[in-house]
């Protein structure tokens, strides 16, 4: 049954989506888009997808909004409206119609939405729901699927974050001389508030990582929270302040270390004669641990690797965008 509040949220989401495309002031568009992401968090929560809502709140409504503002910091917040001529409009319309038709043809072979007899619902999902805890001893079904059954996907998604950070570094990085710090007013309230909040934010991030296989959360969400705490410090002070304890070299090292932890933890079973990422092979290496508990403990290990890469990736991308590749100035 659809509740009135859910209908209201859906209407607001559609309105905000159109507003974010219609508004010409980019800062305003970013704010509207952030509100759109926040409402999506509420919708996901109402649907029971708490882990998805958690990710949307941390990435969509949080860090992504900061990334957009960081880009605008080095560009402009206004866009010029250049109307297209008639031929360009016709060409764009034809492309959209062709792509839409191809999409409809492609989805025609898919099972009907919610069909209980489809392979996904009758076999795969049913097995996960009934056997995930027995196989892994992990109460959080989402973590069990992502970090165990689909560990390959999660490992390569972690690699994507790492490669994205390296790509942005490579594109924007440039050598500069001198001090490029932005003159900032010494706002005591903002700085004291940031120093007070950051430890609690980081403590919550560590909790999300450590407890993600028992409750909503995990390495990705916790890594984003830890990265956001560094971004908050950089915005309250400046980038030089954060680089005293998180330099670019240290950040790259930790990001690479996270990928190596994930891949290395999966490589050990191969050396034991088992399959890659077969966590049950760790039972002989972890004291007083059976195969099922070995899978549970292994998920925590790989989540730590994911968190390191995501934390450094989020802050590294922010560093590159806001400093225009110089790694010295910032918001």
Give the pLDDT mean for 150-173: 87
How much is the pLDDT for 182?
Answer: 45
Given a cut of 90, whether residue 124 has pLDDT beyond it is no
pLDDT of residue 212: 83
Amino acid 99: pLDDT: 94
Burial class (CB within 10 angstroms; exposed 0-12, middle 13-18, buried 19+) of 125:
middle
Beta carbons within 10 angstroms of residue 305's beta carbon: 24
Query: For residue range 216-259, what is the model confidence (pLDDT) as tens digits?
Result: 888 899 999 999 999 888 888 877 778 888 888 888 899 999 99
- 183: pLDDT strictly greater than 50: no
pLDDT tops 80 at residue 150: yes
pLDDT at 36 (0 to 100): 92
Torsion, CA 227, CA 232, CA 237, CA 242, rounded to 10: -10
What pLDDT band is residue 329 in, cutting at 50, 70 and 90? low
pLDDT value at position 312? 92
Q: pTM of the predicted model, to two decimals?
A: 0.81
- The pLDDT of residue 264 is 92
pLDDT > 50? residue 181: no
Burial class (CB in 10 A: 0-12, 13-18, 19+), 133: middle
């Amino acid at each position: 049954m659809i509740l009135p509040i859910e209908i209201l949220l859906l209407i607001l989401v559609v309105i905000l989506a159109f507003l974010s495309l219609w508004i010409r002031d980019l800062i305003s568009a970013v704010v509207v888009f952030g509100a759109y992401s926040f409402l999506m968090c509420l919708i996901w929560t109402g649907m029971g997808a708490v882990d998805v809502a958690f990710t949307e709140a941390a990435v969509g409504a949080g860090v992504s909004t900061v990334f957009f503002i960081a880009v605008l910091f080095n560009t402009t917040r206004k866009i010029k409206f250049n109307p297209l001529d008639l031929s360009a409009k016709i060409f764009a319309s034809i492309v959209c119609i062709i792509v839409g038709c191809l999409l409809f043809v492609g989805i025609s072979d898919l099972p009907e939405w919610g069909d209980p007899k489809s392979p996904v619902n009758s076999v795969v999902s049913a097995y996960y729901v009934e056997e995930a805890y027995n196989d892994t001893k992990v109460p959080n079904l989402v973590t069990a699927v992502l970090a165990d059954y689909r560990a390959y996907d999660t490992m390569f998604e972690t690699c994507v974050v790492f490669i994205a950070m390296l790509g942005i570094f490579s594109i924007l990085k440039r050598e500069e001389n001198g001090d490029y710090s932005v003159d900032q007013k010494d706002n005591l309230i903002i700085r004291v508030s940031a120093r007070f909040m950051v430890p609690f934010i980081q403590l919550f991030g560590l909790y999300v990582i450590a407890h993600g296989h028992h409750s909503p959360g995990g390495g990705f969400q916790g890594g984003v929270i830890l990265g956001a705490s560094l971004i908050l410090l950089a915005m309250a002070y400046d980038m030089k302040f954060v680089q005293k304890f998180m330099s670019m070299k240290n950040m790259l090292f930790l990001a690479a270390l996270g990928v190596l932890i994930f891949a290395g933890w999966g490589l050990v079973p191969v050396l034991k004669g088992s399959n890659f990422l077969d966590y049950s092979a760790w039972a002989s290496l972890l004291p007083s641990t059976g195969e099922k508990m070995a899978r549970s403990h292994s998920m925590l290990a790989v989540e730590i690797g994911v968190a390191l890469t995501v934390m450094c990736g989020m802050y590294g991308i922010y560093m590159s965008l806001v400093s225009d590749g110089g790694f010295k100035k910032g918001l």
